[in-house]
Structure 1
Amino acid sequence: MDAVQGTIDDLGTPLREVTFVVFDLETTGGSAAEHAITEIGAVKVRGGEVLGEFATLVDPGGPIPPFISVLTGITDAMVVAAPKFPEVLPSFLEFITGTALVAHNAPFDMSFIRAACAAGGHPPPANPVVDTVDLARRVLTRDETPNCKLATLARFFRSPSEPCHRALADARATVDVLHGLIARVGSLGVQTLEELRGYSRTPTPEQRRKRHLAEGVPGVPGVYVFEDAKGEELYIGKSTHLRNRVRSYFTAGETRPRIREMVGIAERVRTIVCATALEAEIRELRLIGSTKPRYNRRSRNPERVVWLKLTDEPFPRLSIVREVKDDGAAYLGPFGSARSADDARAAMHEALPLRRCTERLSPRTRRSACVLAEIGRCGAPCDGRESREAYARHVSAARHAMEQDPQVVFSAMEERMRHLAAEQRYEEAAAERDRLAAYLRAAARMQRLRSLTAISQMVAASPAFDGGWEIHVIRYGRLAAAGVMPRGAHPTPYVEALVATAETVTPGPGPTPAAVAEETECLLRWLDSPGVRLVRVDGVWCLPAYGAARFMKLLDRPCS
């Protein structure tokens, strides 16, 4: 039998011959198990040419949450005569036959399609799937686009279709994003569908040349620090197995452009061995915060966070500040930006008639009231209409809403959004939704942080892989010590020794008195993980019975 020289096309399906169906779903929420589809839009393309479109509204079988109507503009009235998805599904499956599927955040959209197929007795689609979010992260750098949201990428690739949370419009925009990404990887030698789905670059010469930096790295949990010739930290990471993780930076699996650039500059790798994976995570966070390496995307600046402060004065007001002081004031936060803090403040002002002027008032102050007093949004303590005692009731309600129960703010904002949606003022309703979301997220986060930072000492343990136990001492929301107890050992001596040698923590003021919020949140995630057991708690670990967490499920949004 004669051997035949294969061609490039034999290695896969050339992209010019692939028929793609780019689709998008709008849903009533973020879980395929709990929510339903309200709209589907799809565009069939091949070789850059549009072959057809598929679009329909879908009756979700129940009321559409107000939040979703505000986000998408799809109301109950619009879907009342629409088909249910089991009626739509056969036509959609026929439309995608013999094609490759494309979606922006494909796992989300495919989860709804698979759930619908399972419910209707259809086999799940076996089509190859391309996720434009994942592909964009591999192809584009942070310098080119700050994120991989559909709207951001559509602007970057100059799509004439503007994403607007309507299925067909978003699918059309995703087509342009797909073509832009294919053009980028095509210049790097990607010519087939198989290469597109498994796209990764080969190691750079610098990666191959620097492989010796991984020599001698131990195979234990810890933190690794890439440094340049001057000893400056370039990049900091953590791993449960330092040797394997560091070696991966010098292989084809490392495709991030900024990290490849960093490897070319690095001259050494310094490691910090840790007792547990949790200790490594906390040490990484602290080192990134203190050194701010230029190649760490997650390099956060704790000093840049802001707080919403209910001031301590005769007639308190809500003020955005950068520092928490021991001054008797109430604080809500931390917020990542002044804008989100201002959104939360606007939500509270909608529910509570707190003054918005910035000057300090005393019971003897007398001046003309502003227009807010005339429309009933402020009691006007400035001109004597509202006494200090009467104003104090609003202050007490504000403090309660910040620290305990956000019901008064939620109810006021929900009513406001319903009113705007009824008048079809959807953009204004969306802005109100965003303000409420900023407030609720901050309140829920702060209450969760306070549940741990209020405890002077907690000792907890989790099972280790070798049958022993990983033990951690937490003081005021800060990791004070970490250690490993061997299998079969008596726990008391190990716990007592760890507590005795743990860091002394002196708490400061506010909800995060001893560590940045990110550290306390790392500890909370670990405490919530399977198998963790509390050994000792000096205090009470609990959340407010009517706290903000009970409203968080109402903030679910479709990821389309």
Structure 2
Amino acid sequence: MTGSHAVQATFEDLGTPLHEVTFVVVDLETTGGRPGASQITEVGAVKVRGGEVLGEFQTLVNPGEPIPAFIAMLTGISDAMVARAPRIGTVLPAFLEFAADSVLVAHNAGFDIGFLRAACRDLDLVWPGPKVLDTVHLARQLVTRDEATNHKLATLAQLFGATTTPDHRALHDARATVDVLHALLGRVGNLGVHTLEELSSYTARVTPAQRRKRVLADGLPSAPGVYVFKDAQGRALYVGTSVDIKRRVRSYFTSSEQRTRMSQMVGLATEVTPIVCQTALEAQVRELRLIAEHKPRFNRRSRFPERAMWLKLTDELFPRLSIVREVRDDDATYAGPFTSRSAAELAMAALHEVLPLRQCTRRLGRRAGETACALFDMGRCGGPCIGQQTPSSYAEVAAEAERILAADARQVTTALDARMSALSRDQRFEDAAVVRDRMLALLKAAARSQRLAPLARSPEVVAAARSALGGWEIVCVRYGRFAGTTLVPRGADPTPYIEALRESAEQVAPPTAPAPAALTEETEKVLAWLERPGVRMVHVDGEWACPVNGAGAARHRLAPPSGVAGFDRGGWEVGAATVAS
């Protein structure tokens, strides 16, 4: 991996400091409590930023219907007062313009925002969808019952010494809510909440001890890459990736992180090590390698790649299927890897159901034995062990098995499809499901190895993709292993960057295909990047192609793989071209 280049994050990525946020505190008076059924009679709002009042908005609204007597008594707003007031169709556009690009704040925000949204709907106006802050919700997290018996606006205004007493008039209540808001912001500031993003996710579920760990994020770069939480002994606890390391690490100390095991991890963490990466692909690869190397206890995926299993068609006079842990240079045919032994056993059963391969484990020579296993009596084995099948006739069976695993899945899919159909007609649906699961396990493994093998055999592939920042991302892959990457600035000639990358990229020894020279998951991430629309091949040393009638298309038909570039009429779609052999 070459170079180190930090990408300047946006202010949105870094978080917006609360003193730079413009809040519009709004309060409504209405004819009742049901948005859409009741109507707005008054709108009051105060615009503030950094503790300073920037403006106010207040108007009565003619609701177009009588105001109930108890509402008039509560608010002091009568029918006579609103008779000459503007209708909501005039008031609402003016308010939305006043509140544009602001965070809306209300006490019991669901009520006020519900009425505003309903009014937009009735007037065929687009609700702008601003961020909303509810001071009731915030107060419930910050004000205990020892301080106040409830969280009503009047109670909180008295507690915090608001300069305006709420009296069910919109502007007065909005002014009182401003004072309550500022008091609450002061409290969360003392708890380490300083940005709008942190405030939006604030909750008392985050313990003071967890929130104090926020200092671990201080000094981290606001750049893409990998982060490693470590304990007091320097052992890796958790490895993750992000487009903004600092922002992502800080999120572990807020309510946005609700996983119990992550709370436990944060409790043990004493430091966070950042690794800045040039591209997202580099970060993903580094994450996988670090997880495989350190096996952090709080990472659940990718910790034990060495436990993968392969299905092997042995290279001997009478080949058989075997489940092994590694690919060797022994002229055998392999499919996989499988994530578990049980999945490999399902795939093996699928092949045994279609082909009369021997299932005995002893090595057979030309000399025949005297007894055969039960499979011979059942017609599911040709009996090479007792001389009932010659090496040449058995070789035809083995060749078909090799063809299924390496190139052409049509025979197995046709046979198993027919088997499933017959079972379904007999209403043996559970048996049909077993056949389906076996076939899917086989096709997944065969498709995986058929995708991995071409890249695993290619000494070098260099590809380019447009960068989100302009310019190009250049990636070098050797034998399926991510060997290096570089960024070409906007407008620059990419040629010298590509040449420098090829000179400085990691030297990789040839593996034993279909296993690549990297973790299988790493090669699959590289493949997913190479297969993205718009990726251009700069240099290919080797042959990168997949079989037209391979397992991929049939596997896709049974269970489409998520997040993978598509199959196209039996060929494999790579970028803009379909490559087939």
Normalised by the length of structure 2, the TM-score is 0.61
**1:303 matches 2:296:** no
1:513 corresponds, among 502, 508, 516, to 516
**1:418 matches 2:451:** no
Kindly provide the CA deviation profile for residues 85-124 of structure 1, in whole angstroms up to 9, marking residues without a partner as x. Answer: xxxxxxxxxxxxxxxxxxxxxxxxxxxxxxxxxxxxxxxx
1:227–1:266: 8 Å Cα contact kept in structure 2? Answer: yes
Q: In structure 2, the residue corresponding to 1:210 is in which secondary structure?
A: helix
2:230–2:271: 8 Å Cα contact kept in structure 1? Answer: yes
Partner Cα separation in structure 2 for residue 434 and residue 242 of structure 1: 41
The percentage of counterpart residues that share the same residue type is: 54
Partner residue of 2:548?
A: 545
What is the Cα deviation at residue 201 of structure 1?
7.0
Alpha carbons of 1:291 and 1:427: their partners in 2 closer, same or farther (altered >3 Å)? same
Partner residue of 1:404?
A: 407
Partner Cα separation in structure 1 for residue 494 and residue 207 of structure 2: 50
Kindly provide the CA deviation profile for residues 143-177 of structure 1, in whole angstroms up to 9, marking residues without a partner as x. Answer: xxxxxxxxxxxxxxxxxxxxxxxxxxxxxxxxxxx
Kindly provide the CA deviation profile for residues 389-433 of structure 1, in whole angstroms up to 9, marking residues without a partner as x. Answer: 111111111111000011111112112112211111111111111
1:345 corresponds, among 343, 348, 351, to 348
**1:525 matches 2:528:** yes
2:453–2:516: 8 Å Cα contact kept in structure 1? Answer: no
Partner Cα separation in structure 1 for residue 274 and residue 421 of structure 2: 55
Kindly provide the CA deviation profile for residues 236-290 of structure 1, in whole angstroms up to 9, marking residues without a partner as x. Answer: 0011211111111111111111001100110000011112111011000010011
- AA matched with 1:503: E
Alpha carbons of 1:445 and 1:461: their partners in 2 closer, same or farther (altered >3 Å)? same
Q: In structure 2, the residue corresponding to 1:253 is in which secondary structure?
A: coil
1:206–1:263: 8 Å Cα contact kept in structure 2? Answer: no
What is the Cα deviation at residue 200 of structure 1?
7.8
Partner Cα separation in structure 2 for residue 299 and residue 515 of structure 1: 13
Partner residue of 2:335?
A: 332
What is the Cα deviation at residue 323 of structure 1?
1.6
**1:360 matches 2:363:** yes
Partner Cα separation in structure 1 for residue 338 and residue 374 of structure 2: 30
Partner residue of 1:276?
A: 279
Partner Cα separation in structure 2 for residue 420 and residue 300 of structure 1: 40
What is the Cα deviation at residue 465 of structure 1?
2.4
Partner residue of 1:496?
A: 499
- AA matched with 1:344: A
Partner residue of 1:41?
A: none
1:227–1:269: 8 Å Cα contact kept in structure 2? Answer: yes
What is the Cα deviation at residue 484 of structure 1?
0.9
Q: In structure 2, the residue corresponding to 1:386 is in which secondary structure?
A: coil
Partner residue of 2:538?
A: 535
1:45-444 pair list within 5 angstroms: 202-444=205-447
1:293–1:299: 8 Å Cα contact kept in structure 2? Answer: no
- AA matched with 1:213: L
What is the Cα deviation at residue 202 of structure 1?
2.9
1:335–1:341: 8 Å Cα contact kept in structure 2? Answer: yes
2:479–2:511: 8 Å Cα contact kept in structure 1? Answer: no
**1:486 matches 2:489:** yes
What is the Cα deviation at residue 483 of structure 1?
1.1
What is the Cα deviation at residue 369 of structure 1?
1.3
1:200–1:253: 8 Å Cα contact kept in structure 2? Answer: no
What is the Cα deviation at residue 529 of structure 1?
2.1
Partner Cα separation in structure 2 for residue 218 and residue 259 of structure 1: 21
Partner Cα separation in structure 2 for residue 306 and residue 274 of structure 1: 32
Partner Cα separation in structure 1 for residue 280 and residue 238 of structure 2: 19
What is the Cα deviation at residue 312 of structure 1?
1.2
Range 374-383 or range 226-235, more displaced: 374-383
Partner Cα separation in structure 1 for residue 559 and residue 309 of structure 2: 25
What is the Cα deviation at residue 373 of structure 1?
1.4
What is the Cα deviation at residue 199 of structure 1?
12
Q: In structure 2, the residue corresponding to 1:270 is in which secondary structure?
A: strand
1:201–1:255: 8 Å Cα contact kept in structure 2? Answer: no
1:413–1:436: 8 Å Cα contact kept in structure 2? Answer: yes
Alpha carbons of 1:350 and 1:287: their partners in 2 closer, same or farther (altered >3 Å)? same
1:353–1:379: 8 Å Cα contact kept in structure 2? Answer: yes
**1:457 matches 2:460:** yes
1:344–1:439: 8 Å Cα contact kept in structure 2? Answer: yes
Q: In structure 2, the residue corresponding to 1:505 is in which secondary structure?
A: coil
- AA matched with 2:291: I
2:456–2:513: 8 Å Cα contact kept in structure 1? Answer: no
- AA matched with 1:430: A
Range 366-375 or range 225-234, more displaced: 366-375
Partner residue of 1:554?
A: 557
Determine which structure has more spread, i.e. the larger CA radius of gyration.
2
Q: In structure 1, the residue corresponding to 2:327 is in which secondary structure?
A: coil
2:278–2:487: 8 Å Cα contact kept in structure 1? Answer: yes
1:204–1:260: 8 Å Cα contact kept in structure 2? Answer: no
Question: What RMSD over aligned residues (CA atoms) do the two structures have, in Å?
Answer: 2.2
Higher relative contact order, chain-length normalized (CA < 8 Å, sep 6+): 1
2:222–2:245: 8 Å Cα contact kept in structure 1? Answer: yes
- AA matched with 2:447: A
What is the Cα deviation at residue 466 of structure 1?
2.3
What is the Cα deviation at residue 233 of structure 1?
0.3
**Structure 1: where are the runs of 5+ without partners?**
1-9, 11-197
Partner Cα separation in structure 2 for residue 385 and residue 371 of structure 1: 14
Partner Cα separation in structure 2 for residue 200 and residue 399 of structure 1: 59
Partner Cα separation in structure 2 for residue 553 and residue 222 of structure 1: 32
- AA matched with 2:364: L
**1:476 matches 2:479:** yes
Partner Cα separation in structure 1 for residue 350 and residue 205 of structure 2: 51
Partner Cα separation in structure 2 for residue 538 and residue 553 of structure 1: 29
Partner Cα separation in structure 1 for residue 321 and residue 202 of structure 2: 51
Partner Cα separation in structure 1 for residue 355 and residue 442 of structure 2: 14
- AA matched with 2:257: E
Q: In structure 1, the residue corresponding to 2:508 is in which secondary structure?
A: coil
Partner Cα separation in structure 1 for residue 257 and residue 367 of structure 2: 67
- AA matched with 2:407: Q
Alpha carbons of 1:370 and 1:201: their partners in 2 closer, same or farther (altered >3 Å)? farther
Number of aligned residues = 365
Partner Cα separation in structure 2 for residue 246 and residue 369 of structure 1: 64
